[in-house]
């Protein structure tokens, strides 16, 4: 049962990564921020987050929907009682190699998954991993 739940959480979180990349490509930065978990919104201002995403997009171009899981770092089931109903949520942190127009980046996503929805809790980006285009000789 726990394995099925964990697989489901990873599938939902992976869908969150797909949606994040699609919105990044559309430059829908405000929507990414608005859809994020309130924990995320309290940790970074909308203006700072949008600036960070603009830099990623400008430097590395469009993200493809191709990414390769590096690892699922952490997964935790959090149970809570609200309005008399048990509404558990899970947190998962995933590190992935993501393919961008101008290279491959390591991205780290932390998600809260509840009621079939993934909400961004944290996002880290390292873009200097591998350049796909050869540099001309000097």
pTM, to two decimals? 0.77
Q: Assign residue 93 the CATH number of its domain.
A: 3.10.450
d(CA 113, CA 90): 5
In this prediction, residue 37 has a pLDDT band, given cuts at 50, 70 and 90, of very high
Residue 31: the pLDDT is 98
Structural domain contains residue 11: yes
Tell me how many domains the chain contains: 1
What is the rounded CA–CA span in Å between residue 52 and residue 23?
A: 14
In a domain, 135, yes or no: no
pLDDT digits (tens, 9 = 90+) for 57-70: 998 899 987 777 66
Specify burial of residue 20 (Cβ count, 10 A radius: 0-12, 13-18, 19+). buried
Residue 136 lies in a domain: no
Domain contains 137: no
Which residue is associated with the tokens 């009682």? 81
**Domain that includes residue 95, residue range:** 2-130
126 belongs to a structural domain: yes
């Amino acid at each position: 049962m726990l394995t099925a739940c964990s697989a489901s959480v990873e599938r939902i979180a992976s869908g969150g990564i797909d949606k994040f990349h699609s919105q990044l490509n559309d430059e829908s930065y405000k929507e990414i921020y608005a859809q994020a978990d309130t924990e995320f919104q309290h940790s970074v201002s909308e203006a700072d987050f949008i600036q960070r995403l603009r830099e990623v997009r400008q430097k590395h171009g469009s993200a493809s929907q191709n990414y390769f899981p590096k690892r699922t770092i952490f997964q935790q089931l959090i149970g809570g009682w609200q309005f008399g109903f048990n509404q558990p949520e899970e947190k998962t942190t995933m590190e992935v190699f993501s393919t961008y127009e101008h290279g491959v980046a390591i991205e780290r996503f932390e998600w809260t998954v509840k009621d079939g929805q993934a909400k961004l809790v944290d996002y880290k980006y390292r873009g200097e991993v591998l350049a796909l285009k050869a540099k001309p000789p000097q």
